Amino acid sequence: MNRIVSIVICFLFLSFSIDALPIDLTKNWYVTKGFVTKENPDPKQWKTLESLPLSPILKQFDWEKGKLRKVTMAKTFLLSPSDFEKVEDDAFSLHVPYISNYFAIYINQNLVISSGSIKEDSIETSGYRRHILVRLKRNGLNLGQNQIRILIAAEEGEELNVYDLFNDYPANIDLASQHLEIEDEYLTYMLLFLYFFVGIYHGLFYWKRRQETYNLYYALFSVFLAIYMVFRSQAVYHLGLEPFTQTKIEYFVVFLTPSWLLLFTDIFFRGRISIVSKIYLSVSVLLAFTQIFVNRAASVILLRIWQISVLVFGVILLYLIISAVRKKNKDAKRLLMGVLFLLGTGTWDVMGASGMLPIQNLNLLRYGYVVFVLGIAVVLANRFLRVHRQVESLNLSLERKVEERTNELQNTLTKVQELKVQQDGDYFLTSLLLDPLSQTKIQSTLVLLQAYVKQKKEFEFRGKKREIGGDIIISDHITLNGKSYLVFINGDAMGKSIQGAGGALVLGVVFLSFIKRTQMILENQNKSPERWIKECFYELQTIFESFDGSMLVSVVLGLVEEDTGVLYYLNAEHPWTVLYRDGVASFIEEELELRKIGTKGMEGDVRIRIFPLETGDVLFIGSDGKDDLVLEESLDGNRLINEDETKFLEVVKKSKGDLNSIVENLLEVGKFSDDLTLLRLEWLGSFKRVSTDDLTHLNSDDFLYSKIKSLLDLGKAEEAFQTIETILSNETLLDDIRINLIREKSRISLLLKKFDVAVDSLESIFPYFVTDNEILLQLSFAYRKSKNMKKAIELGERLRARDPKHIRNLINLVECYRLIANKERAKKIFTRLAALAPEHPQVVKLREVLELNPS
């Protein structure tokens, strides 16, 4: 019996000696599924874990899919009397490096710490954390054998583990004073402050020098790394964050940190961000924001993906720096060693944390960054010294260089002044050439002409102030077929100052040349106003087309018959003509028919417009300077330009047609932004206008008209003709009745084939119906039937100038040219006719006569 007692005492003594503080908790654990708080481990039912971590043994358990995984770990340990003596002035302390996820720790069936919560077999609040430190009460511990039991749980896909070591601190029970060094992180806080200060320092550099964007990315890298170190320290737990929320913030910071370093390196050595760096940044941002919205299991997967991407980041970073070294960049050589050390420590930590290699995450990156910062400091210091030496070198020769630069600037200024004088001389010469071309002083008792010209470009040459631009107004007198006409043109040449003036100069020379030929050559005066305008337009178009589109001009070209006040004109993409009549201003045009003169490949026929003026009518023809007014102008130079062309109508009405008042009122609306020309044309004459209605539209109650109408309805055209002759012999007839009877007489004459009578009748009344195209056609037809082909063609071409698509007139012209054997002209007009009315019976007949194929 005494022998047995001796053996037990010896065994206890040896046990107490072996398990003396610190007590290792990394080996010899029993593990089972579920939570078991009271039942002692049964070696037959519990599995034996020789050494932490826990994760390798979990593969031996069968887990139900979708269920919460629960594990209980148990281990016994011995405390000797000497252990209790050591804590007389201290305390027992438990340290567990890391537990994930929910956990509860019991010693001798007494709960000493727990974290997280479980509700309805799922984790409601996460509980994992690093460096679990618990002071143990002495009355909860036994002299001799004690038991520690750890209950942990994790969702499917989450990490379920108890670490044996973290930052080189193992799981054990030791004196509380010994465990203080785990939370003693003064070095970490010093480095953290250093990194944060460096980040703010370079951030301020970027604030002052925005062009050095590498300072921004370096500042972001430093600040993000400092924040990451906060989350890797024990101090973060004082913030009281929920563990999973804390992890999300930590992952967000750490996922983006390498991206800032990559962008810094790219900008610092290459001056731009490559597509590879942009892709890496995009992936990092995607991972960082995605993990905010996923659960713990998915968050761990994203972490693994990022850890793999860091290896790619290291390769890219090394490639950028080595490429710079190959290009003999001194800064790259000095930075390479720091980056290699940084990548080495970072790779160690990442591999240790990911479990790729059997090594521990020793948090070496914080020390690696110190070396990297020193490398950056050396690089920036050398760069500063280089700049300083350059400044000293510049200062030594600054006076000489300032003098040289001053001389260079003076020479340049002299050359600029010489060029300015030369340019102003060119402007002055051009303005002198333009002056005699701009003729607007016309003496006429029937037509009052006024003009206003304001060119945008003003200059001074040898004390003389002048203007130059692309707007021009020309007016003169010509005689056509014995009638006096006032001819005018308002043009706006493309381009500003000298370019526009060049176009105006060409326009003025060609137009005045055409006018002088008309005034000097009698043959040129035997033309209709329509033909004169048409030929003038084609001559201008031919000249300007030779410039190959580099010089275009918009114009309004017209003639005013002084005695009758009939306006003949065309508009080639110029602002619409304004009529001021009876206190109302309106446009006399409604659509654009011609492009600017000089436009290549201009399609379509030229159409001459006819507009009869009444006594006191005023026309305003102007360039687009009257519309392009600057309504507002901001401090940064942005201008609001008027786009409402009807604004000019309001100004004309407000000014009551007075030219000077119009200019003043335009300046009240806004500032001129372009050259401005305004031509005011007022007809002071009077001429009898007769209604265009024929007898069939007159009052049927009138005896005279009703009698003629009834005879025509009965087919008695000859008797109707004689009746009109009888009536016309009455000298007391009113003028309107006589003129309309003559018109009806001409129509009946055509029916009776009395073509000579029709010619005389139509010629006598044509001045009263000058805008009536039907009378022109009847007169041309009557001349053709009277064998006067010259007059028939002249009148037909005149009508064609007014209305190029008049089918019956085109048929009449083809017949006229065919009869005088001008087949080429006949075929040319027929081609146009066939395109307009290919199925017309007379067109089909003419095709056979001209022996033309339908194609």
Q: List Cβ neighbours of 251 (8 Å cut-off, separation of 6 or more).
A: 288, 291, 299, 302, 303, 306
Distance in angstroms (rounded) separating the CA atoms of residues 742 and 738: 6
pLDDT value at residue 103: 92
447 and 585 inside one domain: yes
Distance in angstroms (rounded) separating the CA atoms of residues 493 and 558: 18
Q: List Cβ neighbours of 833 (8 Å cut-off, separation of 6 or more).
A: 807, 810, 811, 814, 843, 846
- Cite the DSSP H helix spans in 467-617: 497-520, 529-545
DSSP 68-96: PEEEEEEEEEEE-HHHHHHTTTS-EEEEE
* Average pLDDT rounded to a whole number, residues 378-394: 70
Residue 98: CATH number of its domain: 2.60.120.260
Q: Which of 661, 683, 705 is the last residue of a domain?
A: 683
Please state the three-class secondary structure of 416-476 as a single string. HHHHHHHHHHHHHHHHHHHCCCCCCCCCCCCEEEEEEEECCEEEEECCEEEEECCEEEEEE
* Average pLDDT rounded to a whole number, residues 686-690: 76
547 and 587 inside one domain: yes
Distance in angstroms (rounded) separating the CA atoms of residues 796 and 202: 87
Q: List Cβ neighbours of 354 (8 Å cut-off, separation of 6 or more).
A: 304, 307
153 and 191 inside one domain: no
pLDDT value at residue 366: 61
DSSP 112-144: EEEESEEETTEEEE---EEEEEEEEPGGGS-SE
Question: CA 810: distance to chain centroid?
Answer: 51
Q: Does residue 43 lie in a domain region?
A: yes
Tell me if 129 sits within 8 A of 99, measured CB to CB.
yes
Which CA distances in Å does 69 have to 58, 126, 671, 743?
A: 10, 14, 82, 114
pLDDT surpasses 50 at 8 = no
Q: Does residue 401 lie in a domain region?
A: no
Q: Which of 392, 408, 426 is the last residue of a domain?
A: 392
Tell me if 580 sits within 8 A of 587, measured CB to CB.
no
Q: Does residue 243 lie in a domain region?
A: yes
Q: Quickly state the pLDDT bin for 146 (edges 50, 70, 90).
A: very high
724 and 778 inside one domain: no
* Average pLDDT rounded to a whole number, residues 644-654: 89
Which CA distances in Å does 176 have to 94, 106, 108, 134, 529?
A: 8, 18, 19, 9, 118
pLDDT value at residue 580: 93
673 and 698 inside one domain: no
Q: Does residue 852 lie in a domain region?
A: yes
CA atoms within 13 A on the CB side of 559: 24
Mean pLDDT of the chain: 82
Distance in angstroms (rounded) separating the CA atoms of residues 51 and 585: 104
**Which of 101-105, 191-195, 434-438, 826-830 is the least confident region?**
434-438
Q: Does residue 40 lie in a domain region?
A: yes
Q: Quickly state the pLDDT bin for 357 (edges 50, 70, 90).
A: low
Q: Quickly state the pLDDT bin for 680 (edges 50, 70, 90).
A: very high
- Could you tell me the pTM of the whole model? 0.54
Helices (H) then strands (E): counts for the chain: 24, 30
Q: List Cβ neighbours of 591 (8 Å cut-off, separation of 6 or more).
A: none
Distance in angstroms (rounded) separating the CA atoms of residues 81 and 16: 8
Q: Which of 683, 704, 723 is the last residue of a domain?
A: 683
Ramachandran class of 560: left when φ > 0, alpha when ψ lies in -120 to 50, beta otherwise:
beta
pLDDT value at residue 17: 40
Q: Give SS3 for 352.
A: helix
701 and 574 inside one domain: no
pLDDT surpasses 60 at 370 = yes
**More confidently predicted of 817 and 374:** 817
Q: pLDDT by residue (tens digit) across 562-610?
A: 999 999 999 998 999 999 999 999 999 888 888 888 888 776 678 899 9
58 φ, ψ (degrees, to nearest 5): -65, -20
pLDDT value at residue 619: 94
Distance in angstroms (rounded) separating the CA atoms of residues 470 and 506: 10
% of the chain exceeding 70 in pLDDT = 89
For residue 7, give both structure tokens: 């053996």
pLDDT value at residue 845: 86
Distance in angstroms (rounded) separating the CA atoms of residues 847 and 839: 11
pLDDT surpasses 60 at 34 = yes
Distance in angstroms (rounded) separating the CA atoms of residues 108 and 459: 105
**More confidently predicted of 368 and 134:** 134
Q: Does residue 424 lie in a domain region?
A: no
Q: pLDDT by residue (tens digit) across 222-275?
A: 888 888 888 877 778 878 788 888 888 888 988 998 888 888 888 888 888 888
* Average pLDDT rounded to a whole number, residues 357-367: 60
pLDDT value at residue 15: 41
Residue 560: CATH number of its domain: 3.60.40.10
252 and 363 inside one domain: yes
Which CA distances in Å does 446 have to 515, 525, 563, 617, 766?
A: 20, 21, 7, 12, 21
Question: CA 403: distance to chain centroid?
Answer: 46
Q: Quickly state the pLDDT bin for 854 (edges 50, 70, 90).
A: low
Ramachandran class of 458: left when φ > 0, alpha when ψ lies in -120 to 50, beta otherwise:
beta
Distance in angstroms (rounded) separating the CA atoms of residues 529 and 156: 99
498 and 592 inside one domain: yes
* Maximum C-alpha span of the chain: 177
**More confidently predicted of 122 and 31:** 31
pLDDT value at residue 148: 93
Q: pLDDT by residue (tens digit) across 162-189?
A: 988 877 788 999 888 888 888 777 777 7
* Partner residues linked to 585 by β-bridges: 580
pLDDT value at residue 594: 86
Tell me if 440 sits within 8 A of 449, measured CB to CB.
yes
Tell me if 132 sits within 8 A of 169, measured CB to CB.
no
**Which of 144-148, 597-601, 848-852 is the least confident region?**
848-852
Q: Does residue 13 lie in a domain region?
A: no
Q: pLDDT by residue (tens digit) across 409-468?
A: 888 887 877 677 677 666 677 666 777 777 776 778 899 998 888 887 776 677 677 777
Cα radius of gyration rounded to whole Å, the chain: 53
731 and 646 inside one domain: no
Q: Quickly state the pLDDT bin for 478 (edges 50, 70, 90).
A: very high
* Average pLDDT rounded to a whole number, residues 626-654: 83
pLDDT value at residue 764: 85
659 φ, ψ (degrees, to nearest 5): -65, -45
Q: Does residue 14 lie in a domain region?
A: no
Q: pLDDT by residue (tens digit) across 193-232?
A: 877 888 888 888 788 878 878 888 888 888 888 888 888 7
**More confidently predicted of 284 and 334:** 284
**What sign has the CA pseudo-torsion 136, 142, 144, 150?**
negative
**More confidently predicted of 855 and 120:** 120
Tell me if 476 sits within 8 A of 437, measured CB to CB.
no
CB neighbours of residue 30 within 10 Å: 20
pLDDT value at residue 94: 92
* Average pLDDT rounded to a whole number, residues 738-743: 85
Strands of the sheet with 578-581, listed across from one edge: 447-454, 676-683, 618-622, 578-581, 584-587
Parent domain of 168: 19-182
Q: Which helix (H) or strand (E) holds 149?
A: strand 144-154
pLDDT value at residue 432: 67
Nearest to 283 by CA among 261, 253, 259, 266: 259
pLDDT surpasses 70 at 776 = yes
* Average pLDDT rounded to a whole number, residues 728-743: 81
pLDDT surpasses 70 at 702 = no
670 and 560 inside one domain: yes
pLDDT surpasses 80 at 395 = no
472 and 371 inside one domain: no
The residue written with tokens 């082909």 in the block is 789
DSSP 184-237: --HHHHHHHHHHHHHHHHHHHHHHH-TT-HHHHHHHHHHHHHHHHHHHHSGGGG
**Which of 492-496, 513-517, 754-758, 784-788 is the least confident region?**
492-496
Tell me if 98 sits within 8 A of 162, measured CB to CB.
yes
CA atoms within 13 A on the CB side of 229: 25
pLDDT value at residue 613: 92
Residue 842: CATH number of its domain: 1.25.40.10
pLDDT value at residue 566: 93
* Average pLDDT rounded to a whole number, residues 3-31: 61
Tell me if 651 sits within 8 A of 669, measured CB to CB.
yes
Number of domains in the chain: 5
Helix pair angle (773-785, 807-819), 10° resolution: 20
DSSP secondary structure letter of residue 334: H
677 and 702 inside one domain: no
Distance in angstroms (rounded) separating the CA atoms of residues 797 and 776: 10
